[in-house]
């Protein structure tokens, strides 16, 4: 098990492996830190904070993948999910994605990937652990939890939210805010 601060929260990775998992845990930590450097709007030097309106910019594969998925979510939710909520100009329609490029179409647009970045980072860290032969793992980035294969001799991981407990295998769950506060979670 490993815990470390990253992405504005505490990341916890729990693994079960017959092999020595320390190098895999370190690689997963580095992947989280790499994504934090690219996707965080809190870091002045992050990739998303270097974007300039009106300029077409070649972006990293990570940023392109997360923005492509974010745009799809924005369309499906009719704008309820929108990564442009941080700036003076709001509207996912003001982002143009090209061939590994992004153009911010209007002044005042700033990106906030807080609603999607931790889940993406969990997915990436999980893929890395699986590539190193570690399939029994849980990754918790605050309220964003991903589980793969369960611990030895268990049928599943059990994820609890207040008085609700659910068995999960190879799934992810995201929680936010107060359990009884409507509007925080889309679905």
Q: What is the pLDDT of residues 89-144, one digit of tens each?
A: 999 999 999 999 999 999 999 999 998 999 999 999 999 999 999 999 999 998 89
Q: Mark 90-121 as b/e (b = at least 16 C-beta within 10 Å).
A: bebebbeeeeeebbbebeebbbbbbbbbbbbb
User: Could you identify the residue written with the tokens 């939890």?
Assistant: 145
Q: What is the pTM of this model?
A: 0.91
DSSP state of 175: -
d(CA 132, CA 27): 10
pLDDT at 178 (0 to 100): 61
Question: Which of 174, 179, 129 shows the shortest CA–CA distance to 149?
Answer: 129
pLDDT at position 187 over 60: no
**Confidence grade of residue 186 (pLDDT, cut at 50, 70, 90):** low
Decide which of 181 and 174 is more confident: 174
The rounded mean pLDDT for the chain is: 92
DSSP state of 116: T
Q: Using the Cα atoms of residue 100, residue 69, residue 159 and residue 39 in order, give the sign of their dihedral.
A: positive
User: What share of the chain in percent tops pLDDT 90?
Assistant: 81
Write the CA distances from 151 to 29, 132, 158, integer angstroms: 21, 17, 10
What does DSSP say about strands 171-174 and 164-168: parallel, antiparallel, or unpaired? unpaired
**Confidence grade of residue 27 (pLDDT, cut at 50, 70, 90):** very high
DSSP state of 165: E
Neighbours of 22 (CB within 10 A): 11
């Amino acid at each position: 098990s490993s815990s470390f601060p990253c992405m504005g929260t505490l990341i916890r990775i729990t693994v079960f492996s017959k092999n020595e998992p320390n190098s895999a845990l370190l690689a997963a930590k580095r992947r989280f830190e790499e994504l934090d450097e690219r996707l965080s709007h809190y870091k002045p030097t992050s990739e998303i904070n270097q974007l300039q309106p009106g300029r077409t910019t070649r972006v990293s594969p990570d940023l392109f993948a997360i923005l492509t998925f974010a745009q799809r979510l924005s369309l499906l939710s009719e704008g309820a999910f929108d990564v442009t909520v941080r700036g003076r100009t709001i509207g996912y329609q003001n982002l143009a994605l090209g061939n590994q490029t992004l153009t911010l179409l209007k002044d005042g647009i700033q990106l906030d990937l807080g609603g999607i970045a931790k889940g993406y980072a969990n997915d990436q860290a999980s893929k890395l652990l699986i590539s190193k032969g570690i399939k029994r793992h849980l990754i918790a980035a605050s309220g964003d939890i991903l589980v793969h294969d369960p611990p030895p001799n268990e049928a599943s991981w059990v994820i609890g939210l207040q008085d609700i407990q659910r068995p999960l295998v190879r799934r992810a769950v995201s929680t936010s805010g107060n359990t009884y506060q409507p509007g925080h979670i889309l679905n």
